Amino acid sequence: MVRTKTFTRLAAAALSITAAAGLGLAGTGQAEAAREFPVSNCIGPSPNIVDLPFMVRRAIVSTYGGNAYIAADFPSYFPGGYQSSLRMDWHNLSTGKRGSKVSNTRVNPPYQGVHYFVIPVKTIGKGRVNVTLGATNRNALWSVPSTGCSGTIVVP
């Protein structure tokens, strides 16, 4: 469990540092410190069955260079890992703007998997944004969907 917490902190720090280091070179500006926002649990069995369940509990948000960087992390310890596809639907409560984004990532234990989304702030808008997440995780034999989850993030 300590390894999971340590990696989670490192993922949040890496997101913030990456944004500050210039991943968003197209714009200028200062990086916002990463903030965590809880989401209702997206939970489902790992496609590897004996692994930890797939579970997203939070969204990590930072901005830099005109982009919003949003990350969702989840645990896995089973050797061999699996492929994860996460869809994020968003709705800005202030502007009414809506959109969707998909992230595909390979989960390589013993670390957590992390889905990253980069969305221009002018597209998503600043303020309170409702997000809905849903994943499908697969190994070489089958795919397993997770339950959907949702929460509200703030884009500074």
pLDDT at residue number 25? 39
pLDDT at residue number 6? 40
Q: How far is CA 154 from CA 10, 23, 75, 102, 103, in A?
A: 21, 20, 24, 19, 20
- pTM greater than 0.85: no
CATH topology of domain 32-155: Immunoglobulin-like (2.60.40)
pLDDT at residue number 19? 40
Q: Give pLDDT tens digits along the chain (156 positions).
A: 444 444 344 344 444 434 433 344 344 556 678 999 999 978 888 888 888 888 898 999 999 999 999 999 888 887 778 999 999 999 999 999 999 999 999 988 777 789 999 999 999 999 999 999 999 999 999 999 988 999 999 999
